[in-house]
Amino acid sequence: MGGKRRKNDDSDVEDSETASSKRKKTLTTEKKDQLRPSMIKNKEKRSELHAKLKHQKKLDKRAKAKSRDAAIKRALELGEELPEKKVPRTIENTREFDETVCKPDDEELFAGNDADEFSSILHQQQTPKILITTCRFHSTRGPAFISELLSVIPNAHYFKRGTYDLKKIVEYAKNKDFTSIIVVHTNRREPDALLIVGVPNGPTAHFKLSKLVLRKDIKNHGTPTSHKPELVLNNFTTRLGSRIGRLIQSLFPQDPEFKGRRVVTFHNQRDFVFFRHHRYIFENKVVKRAESKGRKDKDDKSDNAPEQKTIARLQECGPRFTLKLISLQNGTFDTKGGEYEWVHKPEMDTSRRRFFL
Amino acid sequence: MPRTTTLECSGCPPLRALAFDALGLIKVVEARDKQRGIPQVVERWGDPESSKCVMAVSMIDRNSQPLLAVARKNNEIEVLSPVNGDIQATISDASGLDICSEENNIVGLHLFGKQKSELASGCCTLLTCTTKGNASLRSAELADSSTESSHIDSPKTWNVCSGGNILCCKVDGQENFALFGGKGVEINIWDINNLTKIWNSKSPPKDNLGIFTPTCFTSATFLMNDEHRKFVAGTNSHQVRLYDISAQRRPVLSVDFRETPIKALAADIDGHSVYVGNGSGDMASFDIRTGKMLGGFSGKCSGSIRSIVRHPELPIIASCGLDSYLRLWDTKTRQLLSAVFLKQHIMHVLFDSKFDFKGVDSVPSKGKTQTEIMLSEEVEVLPSKRKKSSRNNEHVEDGSERKKKSKHSKERKKSEGKDGSEKIASRDERRKSTLKKKNNS
């Protein structure tokens, strides 16, 4: 009991201090460590202290922001270098160290890339020809998704699945000189998996497909033209990532028609691959200085003609979805006798900061 | 703070392993420290080329004049010295087997340690087996790397199977018998001395649903070094089978392991434990007498395991595969000792157990003593400086300490440099000695 009372007394003292002056901030922070609201059992006192602390925190934050702004302003006036901006710590930039991340000066990597299954397509010795098919049963969103995929990927051909085995389809594709097979798997009338098979001996990647938004559900969507699209692959850093990147790259022709201004993006973030399809346009826009800056500037640069600035505008067209790699198999589709290059196993998920792509 | 869980690797005793990858490179991995060494890639032999993909390897692991044979995808067999990677003979298969083609690669290779016939010691005898089942025994003369070596006698060739693909080929410890098995080929055992088939296995009966699984053997190994009667085979239908020639033609014991095909098998030297690796990167050890699993090896292995090798002396096994890691495990505790990233798909791994670390090790120990001496000197010097610094303020003390540190580090670097040069020298000496031996012979 005695101890508790003393604590309360302390809190009273502290309150007076915090209210009176800001210069004893350090002292209060020290006290905070000693006395936390959770140590007080009386609810009224506790909530009182909590409110005080919260208020104090807010004031501190405001003061900090103010001082930072002042520093920037002073630096601008004096023409000095701006104080360094702090980079927030995110999961990506505190990623676990990974030795498999590709280094740009690694000759073995290039030798390996030249020897892999996609090099003939990526060196334009072979034009990609894609076979798209589905699982046995599909309906509603499945066919709609496939028709949009056909408009995204040039030289893609849809074949009805029928009752053929996938291995038979792979054989057929080998004979007909296809370079890849895409299988859209549908579950409960919703596409939920994507299988990309390299033909004749390329790897087989199995992706989970989620967050599918079709073209008609995107506001202000555009309709894509039949030009060959440009391809953007972001953040495929590791060995496995570069392999997946090359697999995706081999689906598209390597000579984009820039006239079409179509761009297909595969953006990898935390092992999720985001697919977007855009049309872009460069516009010359008159930038009004007056609005963007203060009146002082306007007076200074009133003699300047209104500046021309090119900006890129994007219009989204085509589907939008997210992929997550489940497995990468060596060779073509073979679930029974296949060898995996990479399989996702639950024991790998022991850290939030470990990424494989 | 970011919460990270890194796999703790305890390091491994001094050892030397050779890894063979899909681009035909041979990488030498060595752990040199006496206590808890971290293995590193010390050497790389060969140039990356996809047509040189390693298909099969074999090694004579002995003290004097060890030999290493490597079969490549372009049907060339190279005989190397595992000490320095010098090519001692190349045998191109074009002359020996006109049946060779893209689909007819060498899958099995064995280098005979004992001399088969009264040949000069500058010869080696090889058993090769291709996918289509063309087995051949040949001998090649060891020469310098520059000259193309020729066959001394025409190879003895025979066909092992009528149809199907051979996937595994093993020779027993006494080097009298060889087993062959594969997709659609039941395991058959041949007497190498007079080239006769002595035994043929029989597929297990249909199961209770009347389903017959087609035969497909992916890996096999003899259980004991000095006996050819018992062997273990892994199948594509994820079964590990124990065969006993003296008992019956059907498997004595058959165990299921997970759901992907067994890709690698290795027998322990104790004669009853077997290490199993499969197509999705799971590894486990079995007691094959009872068929019970002793335990799994867990270490975030994500790619198919292509090869498992037991160290002949130390309680260590090495595994490698398509995830391009070479992993070293303790056989007793089944803990991961360390993992080395080797950048390519690794096809095979071998231990060079007879590699003499004394030549390499003695020098670092000298270096250590040198540094120790330096340390002791510094310790002696330290107190006087302390006295001085105690008179002055604290900042000066900090500065002096820093200087000392930097000095120390410099000295270390120097000593390391010395080590390196001396190592090379010792290596050269060894090379010379081997050459001398050759000349003598």
Reduced 3-state DSSP string for chain B? CCCCCCCCCCCECCEEEEEEECCCCEEEEEECCCCCECCEEEEEECCCCHHHCEEEEEEECCCCCCEEEEEECCCEEEEECCCCCCEEEEEEHHHHCCCCCCCCCEEEEEECCCCCCCCCCCEEEEEEEECCCEEEEEEEECCCCCCCCCECCCCEEEECCCCCEEEEEEECCCCCEEEEEEECEEEEEEECCCCEEEEECCCCCCCCCCCCCCCEEEEEEECCCCCCCEEEEEECCCEEEEEECCCCCCCCEEEECCCCCEEEEEECCCCCEEEEEECCCCEEEEECCCCEEEEEECCCCCCCEEEEEECCCCCEEEEEECCCEEEEEECCCCCEEEEEECCCCEEEEEECCCCCCHHHHHHHHHHHHHHHHHHHHHHHHHHHHHHHHHHCCHHHHHHHHHHHHHHHHHHHHHHHHHHHHHHHHHHHHHHHHHHHHHHHC
Give contacts of A337 with chain B, Cβ < 8 Å: 216, 236, 261, 279
Give B61 or B98, the one with higher predicted confidence: B61
Domain residue limits at B404: 359-440
Q: What is the pLDDT of residue A293?
A: 47
The mean-pLDDT minimum among A63-77, A290-304, B103-117, B282-296 falls in A290-304
Q: What is the pLDDT along chain A (357 residues), one digit of tens a residue?
A: 444 444 444 444 444 444 444 444 444 455 556 678 888 899 999 999 999 999 999 999 999 999 999 999 999 998 888 878 889 999 988 888 888 888 888 888 888 888 888 999 999 999 999 999 999 887 888 999 999 999 999 999 999 999 999 999 999 999 999 999 999 999 988 999 999 999 888 899 999 999 999 999 999 999 999 999 999 999 999 999 999 999 999 999 999 999 999 999 999 999 999 999 999 999 888 876 555 444 444 444 445 566 788 899 999 998 999 999 999 999 999 888 889 999 998 888 888 888 998
* B369, pLDDT greater than 60: no
> What pLDDT was estimated at residue B385?
42
Confidence band for B251, pLDDT divided at 50, 70 and 90: very high
CATH 3.40.50.10480 fits A107-283+314-348, yes or no: yes
**pLDDT at residue A14 in the model:** 43
Q: Which of B337, B355, B373 is the last residue of a domain?
A: B355
The least confident of A155-159, B255-259, B367-371, B437-441 is: B367-371
Residues B23, A112: C-beta atoms closer than 8 Å: yes
**Same domain as B266, residue B388:** no
Please state, in angstroms and as integers, the Cα–Cα distance from residue B174 to each residue in A12, B79, B112, B117, B178, following that order.
89, 21, 10, 15, 10
- The residue among A325, A343, A357 with the most chain B CBs within 10 A of its CB, best to mutate, is A343
Residues B405 and B348 in one domain: no
For range B31-46, the mean pLDDT: 84
pLDDT, one tens digit per residue, over B385-426 is 444 444 444 444 444 444 444 445 444 444 444 444 444 444
- Is residue B243 situated within a structural domain? yes
Question: In this complex, do B50 and A99 lie within 8 Å of one another by their Cβ atoms?
Answer: no
Residues of B in contact with A345 (CB under 8 A): 281, 300, 302
Percent share of chain B, pLDDT over 90: 29
Same domain? B217 vs B240: yes
Averaged pLDDT for residues B45-70: 87
Nearest chain B residue (CA) to A110? B48
Question: Which of A94, A337, A348 shows the shortest C-beta gap to B302?
Answer: A348
Give the highest mean pLDDT range of B43-47, B273-277, B412-416. Answer: B273-277
Q: Are residues B298 and B226 in the same domain?
A: yes
Asked whether residue B244 falls in the same domain as residue B262, the answer is yes
Among the residue ranges A98-102, A114-118, B61-65, B301-305, the one predicted with the least confidence is B61-65
Residue B46 has pLDDT above 60, yes or no: yes
Same structural domain, B280 and B340: yes
Q: Average pLDDT in the B369-381 region?
A: 42
Terminal Cα distance for chain B, rounded: 65
Element counts in chain A: helices (H) and strands (E): 10, 11
Q: pLDDT at position B13, please?
A: 86
Residue B73 banded pLDDT, cuts 50, 70, 90: confident
Residue B5 within any structural domain of the chain: no
Inter-chain CB proximity B260 and A330 less than 8 Å:
no
Q: How confident is the model at residue B137 (pLDDT cuts 50, 70, 90)?
A: confident
Query: Inter-chain contact B300–A341, Cβ cutoff 8 Å?
Result: no
Q: Determine whether A317 is exposed, middle or buried from the number of CB atoms within 10 Å of its CB (0-12, 13-18, 19+).
A: buried
pLDDT at residue B233 above 70? yes
Task: Determine whether the interchain pair A338/B236 forms a contact, defined as Cβ–Cβ distance below 8 Å.
Answer: no
- Both B182 and B226 in one domain: the answer is yes
- What is the distance in angstroms between the Cα of A353 and the nearest Cα belonging to chain B? 7
Distance from CA of A157 to the nearest CA of B (A): 31
Report the pLDDT value the prediction gives residue B47, as an integer from 0 to 100: 87
**Is B8 inside a domain boundary?**
no
Query: How many structural domains is chain B composed of?
Result: 2
Contact B23 A111 (CB under 8 A): yes
Interface of A with B in 80-139 (CB under 8 A): 89, 94, 96, 99-100, 106-109, 111-112, 114-115
Instruction: Give me the pLDDT at residue A152, please.
Output: 94
| B383 shares a domain with B321 | no
**Could you give the CA distance from residue B283 to residue B261 in angstroms, rounded to a whole number?**
12
Nearest-CB residue to A343 (from B22, B237, B281):
B281
- Whether residue B427 is contained in a domain is answered as yes
Chain A residues lying within 8 Å of B25, measured CB to CB: 108
Out of A106, A239, A338, whose CB is closest to B324?
Answer: A239
Contact across the interface for A336 and B3, Cβ inside 8 Å: no
Domain coordinates in residue numbering, chain A:
2-78, 107-283+314-348
| CB contact (8 A) between residue A115 and residue B23 | yes
**Residue B3 included in any domain:** no
Calculate mean pLDDT across residues B238-259.
92
From chain B, the residues in CB contact with A99 under 8 A are 341
CB contact under 8 A, B322 and A341: yes
One domain, residues B291 and B422: no
* A350 inside 8 A of chain B by CB: yes
The predicted pLDDT at position B255 comes to: 92
Residues B274 and B372 in one domain: no
- CATH at B174: 2.130.10.10
Q: Which pLDDT band, with edges at 50, 70 and 90, does B155 fall under?
A: confident
Q: If you measure CA to CA, which chain A residue comes closest to B235?
A: A337
Q: B1 lies in a domain?
A: no
Determine the pLDDT at residue A205: 95
Facing residue for A351 by CB, picked from B4, B236, B324: B4
Predicted confidence (pLDDT) at residue B379 exceeds the cutoff of 80: no
Provide the pLDDT confidence category of residue B317 given band limits of 50, 70 and 90.
very high
Residue B7 lies in a domain: no
Instruction: Name the more confident of A298 and B27.
Output: B27
CA distance B413 to chain A (A): 25
In a domain, B9, yes or no: no
B346 in Cβ contact with B356 (< 8 Å)? no
A177 in reach of chain B (CB within 8 A):
no
B240 against A21, higher pLDDT: B240
Q: How far apart are CA B402 and CA B416, in angstroms?
A: 21
Q: pTM (2 decimals)?
A: 0.78
Query: What pLDDT, on a 0 to 100 scale, did the predictor assign at position A6?
Result: 46
